[in-house]
Chain A
């Protein structure tokens, strides 16, 4: 297909209409060598305008003073001021630590539950197709609905989860999960894991379909038990897809403050304050765009480092 207009040649225009007929002109254009670039042009321009330009602008903002509520001195170059402030900003360090907890715990639970669900679904037992659809539903629910649904169920006065836990004897009385700094993060992680574990289920199921059944038959003959098969066949065969899923999910977890913004706004105290939330609040509440920009740049760099290291490590293991 890339050989150019060798297969067909358009006949020369016969009359005036042919010369300006847009369908004919487009057809002719599509036979030129530059056709694929023309096809890519609109989306490339759009991505340049709304992704690349804002990103570069964001980097620039992080070196300038930009407070929308204090117009004086806006746009002035301040060098590394915001980055220097970060080093002595205790909230930044708390946010960094919380981000690590939030991302690590969520990923571990989501991957674990996602893997177990995928392995169970992959046995193709009768009736499990319906269960698969039900299990995938949380992933497609809006953060706002998922967050408020769980906030209702965990509410200190009217929460049904509290009622069930009390009735089952796990709790002495209703608990205000999001008012206690010791449980707020755990509750938020639980909700996040509930929301996103189907992502891992989806991807791992796709990966499982690609593993040749012969491998398991051979392992059966060699007397390898199910756990040995999981460790020696399934997980190594899924390495690429697990790496892709983990990276995508880590990006999502680091970048989106949505769920925490809905559930806790970083509280109580700073117990659920994460970097993305801190950056967003700096921009949205305090209009301090320069500092918010610097915080986002730090997040971006950390993510790039993580992705690079993770890909390196999973490749090194392969050899």
Chain B
């Protein structure tokens, strides 16, 4: 009996490794292929017989991308929009999240549910009115307008995720500070926010990645290189040139480097935050 159980345990362990290795390969292979493609010369990409490893290693695609397509401007636009989105979420969302986490007040539950339900609203349903409103306010085709639009789906997410981190911060220190004569706002900024610092950073990174990656709102709400972000610019290249696979791959690689770096840096805390929010919600 004991023998068959340890035998079956071994089988399951082997099966687990097999499944995980296959999935990990499947997850990473497209990225590796894109990386290889970005270093290939055109003749190695479009060939009669498939060339797996570049016969000649080249940075041509990166150079072409940088010089021809206005990619640097797109990247800067994306950076500005992303930073604005994070700033808006940080200023308005942190205090809201703190209020939900620390106070019990009439209307708390419906308000919190409200912050959750707005995520159900179809993006398309909001994009059209936002387009009209932004045009009337002169915010159409500006980074600020786009950042404000991103806030519509990222702020509720920010508040909910951060609330999980605030909930996890012990209340005792805060109470001690209050007894020592600190005001509520003093306790919030000097005690609670520093304790929840890692969570705050992870939440910001999550929002930043989402804003950096966003495509649909950017497509609708920008119309010129003055505010166009890199996903829109990259996708426009598909139509502009004769399928420039090398440049597309190079653009993809450049654009996801910040995502991968940020993800690697805060992945543990961020994953805990996403899941904690979801478990409680």
Which A residues fall within an 8 A CB radius of B? Answer: 1-2, 7-8, 10, 26-31, 35-37, 39-40, 42-44, 46-47, 50-55, 57-58, 61, 113, 116-117, 119-121, 123, 125, 128, 131-138, 140-146, 148-150, 152-153, 155, 157-158, 160, 163, 194, 198, 202-203, 205-207, 210, 226, 241, 244-245, 248, 251, 254-258, 261-262, 276, 279-280, 283-284, 289, 292-293, 295-297, 299-300, 303-304, 307
What is the interface of chain A mostly: helix, strand, loop, or mixed?
A: helix
Enumerate chain A residues within 8 angstroms of B248, measured Cβ to Cβ.
148, 152
- Chain B residues with CB under 8 A of A153: 30, 33
Contact for B125 among A50, A136, A138, A293, CB less than 8 A = A293
- Contact among A27, A51, A244, A262 with B186 in the assembled complex (CB-CB below 8 Å): A27
Give which listed residue, A7, A31, A42, contacts B91 with CB less than 8 A.
Answer: A42
Which 7 pairs, one residue from A and one from B, show the smallest C-beta to C-beta distance?
Answer: A206-B275, A296-B125, A142-B213, A27-B183, A54-B129, A30-B185, A30-B184
Residues in B neighbouring A304, C-beta threshold 8 A: 120
Instruction: Point out the residue from B45, B216, B271, B281 that lies within 8 Å of A261, measured CB to CB.
Output: B216
How many chain B residues touch A (CB < 8 A): the figure is 104
Let me know if A39 and B98 touch, CB within 8 A: yes
Given the known inter-chain contacts A35-B184, A131-B24, A303-B120, please indicate yes or no for A141 contacting B259, CB distance below 8 A. yes
CA distance A123 to B20 in the complex (A): 11
Which residues of chain B come closer than 8 Å to A42, judged between CB atoms?
91-92, 95-96
Q: Which residues of B contact A203 (CB under 8 A)?
A: 274-275, 278-279
Question: Is B129's CB under 8 angstroms from A58's CB?
Answer: yes
Contact of B185 among A27, A144, A245 (CB under 8 A): A27
Q: Are A143 and B96 in contact (CB under 8 A)?
A: no
Q: Is the interface of B mostly helix, strand, loop or mixed?
A: helix
Residues of B within 8 A of A141 (CB): 31, 213, 256, 259
Interface centre among A10, A27, A47, A117 (most CB of B within 10 A): A47
B202 contacts across to A, CB distance below 8 A: none
Are A256 and B33 touching (Cβ within 8 A)? no
Pull 21 A–B residue pairs with CB atoms less than 8 Å apart, ordered by A: A26-B185, A30-B186, A40-B111, A42-B95, A43-B93, A51-B152, A54-B126, A135-B24, A136-B267, A136-B271, A140-B259, A142-B213, A145-B256, A194-B27, A194-B30, A205-B275, A241-B278, A245-B278, A289-B132, A292-B128, A296-B125
